[in-house]
Structures are given as C-alpha cells and as structure tokens.
A and B are shown apart, each in its own frame.
Chain A
Amino acid sequence: MGEQEKQLDLLQGTLDLLILKAVSLGPLHGYGVLLRIQQISGQALVIQQGSLYPALYRLEHQGAIASDWGESENNRKAKFYRLTTAGRMRLEEETEKWNRMAGIMGAILLAQV
C-alpha cells in the first residue's frame, strides 16, 4: 500500500466536477477521462475506476455531457464524451462554488483561536 499512501481519496461529490473539467478540454472516451484526471492531478487522486462509468452515464442523462461513437487512438470503436452548453455552465457554477468553499474552509482552518 506504499504507493497509495500519498494519494487522496476523492471527496464525496467531486467526481462529477472532475469529469466535467476533464472533458471541457476536449472530447474523451471513458478511459481517457480517467487518464486525464490522473494526469492533471499529478497522480495524487485515487479514482475508483468502476465509479467512473455510472458517473459518466449520470452526467449524460442530466445533459451536462453528450457522447458520440468514434474511432479511438488504436482504431477501435469508442464512445467519446464532450461538454454540452449546459455542462459548461454547470462547470463554471460548480468551480465558482468550489473555490468559495475552499476559501471559506481555508480561512476557518487558519483562524487562530
């Protein structure tokens, strides 16, 4: 478990935001989303691979992302997810909320009692 020690478990409810962020940079297939999140976070986050797909389906069902079938890098059929307009708005909203929350939490935890 040595390797996993420096990784953090994902906070509840943040996977959706990470997926939105990942696909906001360009269409990706499921595995691509996983790779990109790991890449951006510098391998610091553990993502339960299985929980990725239900989350993708949920976001698609909610209309935040849309999908198309296309060719993957190794010339196989793959499903590519992209951000919709509604998804973009949600990403902005959630990012703003996240930043505020982080700021508030930081301020509280820094406070000298």
Chain B
Amino acid sequence: MRRGRLEDEMELELAEHLECLAADLMRAGYSAREAKRRARIALGSTVVHKDAMRASLGLRLLDELGADVRYALRMMRKSTGFTAIAVLSLGLAMGANTAIFSLARQLLYERLDVPHPEQLRTLGWDQDSKSVVHNMWGDFDPDGHGGLAGTIFSYPVYQGLLKNNSVLDGLLAFKDDRMNATVRGTAQQVQAEMVSGNYFSVLGVKLQLGRAIQPSDDAVPGQGTAAVISDGLWEREFRRSNDALGETIALNQAAVTIVGVAPRGFTGLKNAQTSVDVFVPLSLQPVVDSKGSKSLLSDPDQWWLNVMGRAKSGVSESEMQVPLDVQLAAQVKGTMTVTAADSVPRLTLADGSRGIRFPDAQFLKPIYVLLAMTGLLMLLACVNVANLLLARGTQRQRELSVRLAMGAGRGRLVRQMLVESLLLSAMGGICGVAIAFLGRNAIPHLLSAPWKPLAFEVRFVWSVFAFAGGVTLLTGLLFGMAPALAAMRAEVSSTLKESSQNATKRRKGWGGKSIVAFQMAVSTLLVICAALFLRTLLALNSVDAGFQSDHLLLFAINPPEQRYSAGKDVQLHARLEEALRAVPGVQAVSLAAVPYISDSVSGGQVQLEGESKVGAGGQPVLHNADFNVVGNDFFHTMEIPLLAGRGFGQQDTATSTKVAVINAALARELFHGANPIGRRFLMDLPQGWLEIVGVCGDTRYRNLREPAPPQFFLPYVQGTDVGDMTYAVRSSMSEAELVPSLRRVVQQADRDLPMIDIRTQVEQNEATMSQERMVASLMSGFGLVALAMACVGIYGVMAYSVANRTNEIGIRLALGALPRQVLRMILREATWISLAGVGVGLGAAFLLARLVKSMLFGLQPADPVSLIGGAGLLIAVGLAASWLPARRAASVEPMEALRHE
C-alpha cells in the first residue's frame, strides 16, 4: 500500500519537474512542443531516475529479492513433484533434528528456574568403607573405588554447617518424598519437598500468590503447618483460584494450610524436568514423613537431608570446599561417636544448577546417539535435494546461458540460485517445525510410564527456534552450493550449442552417482542402527522374567505412619489382602514391598548358620543377596515355581518360627547343591534367625536387563513395620472392570487411602524399557525416512542417466542389442552404485555399533541379522527403485531415439 503511494509520488514529482522546466523553456521562447522535448532530454529517462531513487531508499535490493522469490515460486509450481519431495525430505529431517535438539536441551541442559542457577552448589561427600556413616536414606552411589559418594547429611550436621557457614551465600536443606495427599476430598499421591525455612529466600524465588515458607515456620520440630503448592497443583486442583490460600490439605494425614503458590516454572530442587507439588517446612518431618519412632531432626546417625548453597562470586571452588570440609569433619565428630577405626566422609561440591537428580546417566548416551543420527539424516536430506537439483541441471544450464547472453550478471544468477535453495529450505524448515511439534508432544509419552503424569515436558523456547532457523539457513546454503556453482561456471556459448554428447557429461554423471552411493551408505548406517535397537527391544520383551506378567494388576498402598504405627500397618495389609481376595473375578492376591521390574531393589547381607569359613579378622562371612518382603500367596500369585520345600502359608504368623524362602541362585551360592531346607541364616533385621522352608525359581528383579540375582523372601506378617506395599492382583478381567471394585474395598478400609500407581505388570515391565523403546521407535522412523530418501535418490539419478543416454540406447538397440540386455545393463549400473554405498555403510555401522554396545541387549554389536538384513534391504530397495528407469530404457524405440537428436 505504502509502496504504491511512493511510486505515485515519484511519478508526480518528476512530472512536476518536467512541467516547470518546460514552462521556463517556453518563457525563453521555445514552442510548447519544442520546450517539452528539450525538457525531456534535459531530465533524461524517468525510468532510470526512479530506479535510482528507489535505490537511494534501499528498495532496489528488496525489489530484486522479491522478483527472485516470485520467480523461484513459479519454478516450484512448475515442478510440484520435485518441490514436494524436496520439502518433505527436508521437513522430515529438520523436524527430527529440531525435536531431538529440544529433547536434548530439556533433558541435558535445562537449568532450574531460579535467579542465577549457576551459583547453586550441591554439597556432597565421598567416603571409604570404614566410614562412620552407615544409616542412609536417599542419594548415594558407589564411588567407583570401593567407597560411596552421596549428597545426604544428618539434620544435626546440617545445623552445624549452617551455623558456621561463612563461605557460601546461604545454605538450604530439603528432602523430596512421595506422600499421600487429600486435596478437596480426593486422595492422591503427590511429590512433596520438605524445605528449610530459608529455602525460598536463599533461592530468591518470588511466589505468584501468598507468602513463602519462612524461618519461623521451620522453627519448632513437629510444628509449622504452612504449605506452598506448585503452579501445576494449583491449576489441577484449584483452577488457579485465589481461594486456595488458607485451604487445608491432608498430607500423610497431617493437616497443612496453603499459604502460597510457587511461580510457574519453579520445579523444586530435585531436577528441572519434573515438578514438586507441595512444599512444607522440614520441621514437619516427624509428622508427615516419620521413619520410625525417632525424629530424624534430632538423629545424628541417620543421613538423609539434601543440602545446597549459593557460591559467592569470585570465590574459587577450592576456597569453598576446603573450609566446608573442615567444618563437616568437625560436625561429624561433634555429633556422632567416632572411634579410631572409623573414617569421616570428605566433603565435595558439585554444580547444582540442574538440581540434585538430573537424568544424565540415563539419557546422555541415547540422546547423543539420536543427535548423531538426526545429523546424518539432515545430511542425507541435503544430499538428496542437491542430487535432485543436479538432475534438473541440464534444463537450468540452458536457461542460465540464455540469461547470461541477455546480459545478466553472474552475481545476480548466483543470488537467484541461492534464493531458490533458501526458499526450499525455508519451506522445509516450516514443515520441520510442524513435525517437531508433533514429536515434542509424542516423545515424553514414549518415556513416561502410562500410569504416571508425564515425566517431563519438552518446551519450545527461542533457542529451539534459533536452532531450526540456523539449520534451515545452513542446509539451504549447503545444497544450494551445487546449482550456485553451476551458475558461476555457466558459459554463454557452449551450453547454448550443447548437444547431448558433451565432454562434461561424464563428470556430471559421476557426481550424481557418487552422491547416490553416499546416500546409500548413510541410509545403510541408519537402517542397521534402527535394526539393532529394534532387536534390542524385542530381546528385552522376550526375556523370561521368571514369573508370569500377564493378567497381573499392580497398585501400591501406603499406610501413613501416624495412623498406622508399627504393627498396625501389618494388620491393615492383612485385612486388605483378605478383602481383595473376596472380590469377584480375582484369582489370587499378593503383596510385596518392592514390585518386580521397577528399577528398585532391596539388598542385604546374610550370614549362614554353622558356616565353617571365617572371613578376615575373625568376622563371619557375609553373602550379598537381594530380598523382598511378600504376602503369603506370593509365589502362587506371581506363578513362580517352588522347586523344593513349601511357600508361605497360614501356619506362618507373627508369633510362629520366622521363616524364609530362597531362590535357586541363592541356594546354589550358599549350599552348593546341599539341601537348604531347615537351614538357618541371619540378617540385619529384627526377626533374628530365619529358617529356610522352601526354594523357588529364579526371577529377574530390578529390571529385565540384569540376570536373576540371588534372592530370599520373607513373609510380611512376620515383620513389625512394613510400611507401603505393592499389591499384585491376578485376574482375567480387564483393568477397567476390576479397578472400581478394588477401589471400593480399599475405601471401605480407609477413606483416605489412595490406590497409588495402578498399572499392569506388563506396563510396569515396559516402563523400565521406556528409554530403549524411545530410541528404537525414533530410530525406526529415521531408518524409514532414510530408506525413502535412498529410494528417491537412486531413482532420480538412474532416470536422469537413462534420459541422457536415450540416444546411446537407441543406437545399441538399432545395432541388435536385446531389450533384456539393456535392462540388465541399467540394473547392473544401479547395483554397482548400491553395492559401493552399502559396503561403506556396512563398515560404518560396524564401527558405530561398537560405540553403542552398552545400549544393546541380547545381541552382539556385529549382529549378523541386523547387518545382513539392513544391507540386503538397501540393495533390494536400490534394485526396485531402478527397475522403472531400466524398464523405460529397455522400451526405447530405436528409430524415435535416433530421430530425437
């Protein structure tokens, strides 16, 4: 609109000039006609002047660009097939890249949403095997040289560190745990974080509503009923209403009052991917999260509390670590009994900007592999488009020559070519962002257990769009290079005269073929990798877990400590077990402290009665074994075979002899073939000596990857304090039919008890494979896209080759070649290209498979099925794609072909 007015004004201004000039000339004595003529001569060409005027405003570049874009669009419309294939392949690759990039950014680089997250430091320790710290609840792992590394402290040690802290800017403590909450009448499980009074002020988090938890809330152990809820819970349960403030929610049966709502995006300190739902003061620990009769707030021996601080600017890591280490040693010696034989943990500092439990260990490698694969896919798409552009080259070559002959500048032509390429890549980019958007929504589902809220969300932030834009620009330039170079080299005379036999033909042909061979190589690599991961997933799925996963429904019941003290929880579970068994359609019910294949495990050490061997220092030999506390009907419900002796039964009660069942692996380890029935062992539990009454079959425990460990089982009815248990209900009814009646039974027992994490055992098994499933699904997608691109590539280059050789083929046929021979000739050529590419791809896949060995299961990196299958598939696809051009070549009419030239 403004542009139109500008043009009018320019016109008007120049006309006015002419008018005035002519008037002056007439005054000087010229005739009207002569004056006008002279005026026009004096002023010169108005078209040229207007162009110069536009140029002065910087509009000329824009105009030319507009013309280029219009021309490019017209070219695209003329060849919609080419455009569609190019845009689609670019879009798929770009979408894959953008989605994986946003996933990587979210999982590997996302920081906590607090001011200056880079200042946060997680306090931790490293201890050797003689350490004075034994009782731990929370985050610790083997440190790799025989000791442990952890990030948990006792409350008294934290208090001491806080009191004497001078090196850090604030020191806060917190503990994450899952709790039962009743919010507006519905019982549900929430992620809670107990926080020190200075938590919000040290983090600098400003609440969006109400007030934060303050030091006064956290002052008296057992008191302080203030709770801050997350933005997510506020939205979910209170529909963002201000009335939430002042409402009471029951947290593990203790009433707490909502005083504030945390800002959107603040996830607590666990990690930046999943959000805490409720924050309460640490002083409430004995009330909402009691672990036994003793308050953890005064227990110096139990280490459980996470501690973080803010680094002061300009202070080096060692300037912080050394004094804190001295303090830690002093606090440990001040609060615990440390003998000469005990050692004290050494303090460590780690980056806390991403929380305490970021998912690197699980995701780093898969995501790097996926990033590499999407990179290859992008390269493949670029090559594909470049190849298609080259194939169109002849036609363009002529056009370029005509334009050069008419006086176009070379720079102008190169720009035209680049505009066309960039337009293609921009369309691909838009298509790609749309595909990435779908991927962004789908990928978290692949990684989340179906019965839980999404493990995380992938957010699209500016860096994701910047990435997509950057990739678009880069790819546009990359595949636009070939036509641009062609435009640079184009010559006026030779191409206009060019006949089909040209010296440069051969070289161009080779360029196309080597590009296709490269495409085949990359596709082979991608397809073989997809096959490896798919076969890993299949292998995991076909693992015999040792128990029957089908028709098994799981859910957890967590009796809160205040209502169900030690002993009472056992009674509750016994009541529930009985009542659930009576539900129609239920075939068997059992319960276990740790559900199978849930990435958790209970481990302990057992000491065998009468064992002759004695370890170092006269200590009895201890054997490591995993264990589980289970219901009486456990082996029947899970369909684990009993190999000797008996399972648990009515005769096993709280007062009868304490009994245990061991699995075959433990029997082998402890008894080496001797009869274990009636033998006794001891472990660090209040039960005392345990008599072995049966031997059962081996089962996998933590996940399906690890082989069945040595295990033993204890009946929960003989325990004193069992806490939360996971129920397993065997029934042939569907989940939807069964759950309502089960829920009724649970609510009859206690209205505030939620059925937590309702899922089938099959879903449970699959959840531990979510990462493998994600990689396998995405890789299969990439493999398919790669296959399609290889197909298009080889078809394109063969079709081009046949079209160019029509003349030659005509001569061959005229001289007596049979169509069959021509067909074979073309297919042979295509097969050579395929073979060369597949060979290279096979080698690369062989090397890459070694790098991802740790991600594979049940197969060797050089898995013959994947390698041979992938290679065979690519060769077959190559043949199929060249069949059509070969047929066309064979059906060439010799006369027609010869007349053609």
Contact = CB atoms under 8 A, between A and B. Distances in A.
B45 to A, nearest CB: 7
Interface string A72-113: 101011110000000000000000000000000000000000
B28 to A, nearest CB: 13
B357 interface: no
B19 A54 contact: no
Contacts of A30: 13, 16-17
Interface in B1-57: 9-10, 12-14, 16-17, 19-21, 23, 42-45, 48-49, 52-53, 55-57
A31 B44 contact: no
Interface in A46-87: 48-51, 53-55, 57-58, 61, 72, 74, 76-79
B58 interface: yes
A53 B13 contact: yes
Contact of A54 (B9, B43, B55): B55
- Tell which of B13, B48, B52 has the most Cβ of chain A within 10 Å: B13
A48 B44 contact: yes
Interface string B712-755: 00000000000000000000000000000000000000000000
Contacts of A50: 43-45, 48-49, 52
Interface in A16-69: 29-31, 34, 48-51, 53-55, 57-58, 61
Contacts of B55: 54
Looking at chain B's contact residues, the main secondary structure is: helix
A29 B58 contact: no
B58 A61 contact: yes
A106 to B, nearest CB: 33
A77 B12 contact: yes
A52 B10 CA distance: 13
A77 B20 CA distance: 12
B519 to A, nearest CB: 49
A50 B19 CA distance: 15
A46 B56 CA distance: 22
Contacts of A53: 10, 13-14, 17, 49, 52-53
A31 B17 CA distance: 5
A26 to B, nearest CB: 17
B9 A49 contact: no
A38 B58 CA distance: 29
B778 to A, nearest CB: 52
30 contacts: A29-B13, A30-B16, A31-B17, A49-B21, A49-B42, A49-B43, A50-B43, A50-B44, A50-B48, A50-B49, A51-B52, A53-B10, A53-B14, A54-B53, A54-B56, A55-B56, A57-B53, A57-B56, A57-B57, A58-B56, A61-B56, A61-B58, A72-B16, A74-B19, A76-B16, A76-B19, A77-B16, A78-B16, A79-B13, A79-B16
Interface of A: 29-31, 34, 48-51, 53-55, 57-58, 61, 72, 74, 76-79
Given A54-B55, A58-B57, 11 more contacts: A30-B13, A48-B44, A49-B21, A50-B49, A50-B52, A53-B52, A57-B53, A57-B57, A58-B56, A78-B13, A79-B9
Among all A-B residue pairs, the 9 with the closest Cβ atoms: A58-B56, A54-B52, A57-B56, A50-B44, A31-B20, A57-B53, A50-B49, A54-B56, A31-B17
